[in-house]
Amino acid sequence: MPNGPVGELIPPRRVLLGPGPSDVNPRVLRAMATPVLGYLDPDFIELMDGVANMLRDIFGTENGFTLPVSGTGSAGMEAGLANLLEPGDVAVIGENGFFGARLVEIAKRQGATVDVVSADWGKPIDPNEIENALKRNEKVKLVAVVHAETSTGVLQPLEEIAAITKQYNALLLVDAVTSLGGTPVNMDKIGIDFCYSGTQKCLGAPPGLSPVAISEKALEVIENRTTTPRTWYLDLGLLRKYWAGGTRVYHHTPPMSMIYALREALRVVLEDGLENRYARHEKNALALRAGLRNMGLNLLVPDEYCLYQLTTIEIPEGINDQTLRTSLREDYGIEIGGGLGQFAGKAWRIGLMGESSTQSNVLMVLSSLEKLLTNSGFEVGSGSGVKAATEIFNT
């Protein structure tokens, strides 16, 4: 890449197999290069409505209000907590990884009382512990959990937690940043009140927007607040006036090119078919896991709770984390992720999300890892990772 401000920008080619972002479909990149419209142009408003409708299909909601919040997934997280919580409210939050801890931090900044339900990293939240927290607090307004914990690769079962939350008449907020578009979210069926995601993972667009979906119950809570939200930019009451209704009220200038990108990415997802897309993520993940295990590597999350989008691997003893990932990137053009938080320096995270979830990528990363591990002195198990993965693909 040229140094200085005058050189043409030519980023190196990478295959993005980390925790995000994932590779972007060429159709999405082309959409970003189309002309920008005014924020109240009738054609742009029509485009906005189309994006909101497609988001409803992917979130699995018929009645919810959907929009892409300007900002990455953390903006959607903050929008949900800042609009649903007021000072003095009680929130029960599941924390079994880096992003559960971020939920806790943001909720506290809203002035809420937070009861944290913890689980070991690499394990899901126990619904019974959520219920115990609901019992020990007089009135809980909101329960929040991470559906797909990107720091660990754990998929959190939601049905039982949703049923318990409804029993106590609390709102359920769900982080679907890594799951939306790769694992069913089923917002209406499960009973989720606020769900947020990001564009850069299974949806296959660049980072920069956070799609959110809000139930009618959550909208009522937002409309009936007794205090003004602590955020103006992420005030969903104000944003709703721009994203819905007959007369659109200007709030802020939206990132038009990113909305173009999201629109095209959603079209790709729905053309693929959600069920086909879920099945592709599952099969590629199963093949990757089989290959890794056949190479003698240990996976940190049990299969029954392991995300299909993200697989977390224990770094073998004697292997330098940074050295191997650097070689993988510079010599093979492949990016995988290191560990976060408690897993820093102890784990690798391989992501197979959206456009990056392909059979060829699975075989390529297994072959490259095997060469680098062998060169580093790690004894690869009997048979190759590629062979074990190919057997899964052939079934």
CATH number at residue 133: 3.40.640.10
pTM of the model: 0.95
Predicted local distance difference test score (pLDDT) of residue 246? 83
Nearest to 208 by CA among 165, 283, 261: 261
Predicted local distance difference test score (pLDDT) of residue 2? 52
Q: Are residues 356 and 324 in the same domain?
A: yes
Nearest to 271 by CA among 30, 63, 54: 54
- Take residue 394 and report the two structure tokens written for it: 């052939």
Q: Are residues 249 and 364 in the same domain?
A: no
- Take residue 82 and report the two structure tokens written for it: 């800042």
pLDDT digits (tens, 9 = 90+) for 13-71: 999 999 999 999 999 999 999 999 999 999 999 999 999 999 999 999 998 899 999 99
CATH number at residue 279: 3.90.1150.10
Q: Are residues 265 and 167 in the same domain?
A: yes
Residue 108 domain boundaries: 35-270
Domain membership flag for residue 9: no
Q: Are residues 225 and 241 in the same domain?
A: yes
Q: Cis omega (within 30 of 0) on the bond before 21?
A: yes
- When pLDDT is cut at 50, 70 and 90, the band that residue 381 belongs to is confident
User: What percentage of the chain carries pLDDT values higher than 70?
Assistant: 98
- Please report how many Cα atoms fall inside a 13 Å half-sphere around the Cα of residue 360, on the Cβ side: 4
Question: What is the torsion angle, in degrees rounded to the nearest 10, for the CA atoms of residue 336, residue 341, residue 344 and residue 348?
Answer: -30
CA distances from 292 to 168, 272, 279, 288, 311 (A): 43, 28, 20, 6, 10
Nearest to 191 by CA among 221, 156, 216: 216
Q: Are residues 228 and 346 in the same domain?
A: no
Q: What is the mean pLDDT of residues 195-211?
A: 97
Q: What is the mean pLDDT of residues 101-128?
A: 97
Residue 11 has pLDDT above 70, yes or no: yes
- Residue 356 · residue 17 · CB < 8 Å: yes
**Mean pLDDT score across all residues of the chain:** 96
Residue 5 has pLDDT above 70, yes or no: no
Q: Are residues 74 and 213 in the same domain?
A: yes
Please state the domain count of the chain.
Answer: 2
Q: Are residues 245 and 291 in the same domain?
A: no
Q: Locate tokens 């949806």: which residue?
A: 203
Predicted local distance difference test score (pLDDT) of residue 313? 97
Query: How does DSSP assign 102-168, residue by residue?
Result: HHHHHHHHTT-EEEEEE--TTSPPPHHHHHHHHHHSS---EEEEESEETTTTEEPP-HHHHHHHHHT
Q: Are residues 210 and 149 in the same domain?
A: yes
- CA 153 from centre of chain: 11
Domain membership flag for residue 3: no
Strand ranges inside the chain, DSSP E: 15-16, 65-70, 90-95, 113-118, 142-146, 148-149, 154-155, 171-175, 194-196, 209-214, 310-314, 334-335, 337-338, 347-351
Q: Of the residues 248, 270, 292, which one is the last residue of a structural domain? A: 270
pLDDT digits (tens, 9 = 90+) for 270-324: 999 999 999 999 999 999 999 999 999 999 999 999 999 999 999 999 999 999 9
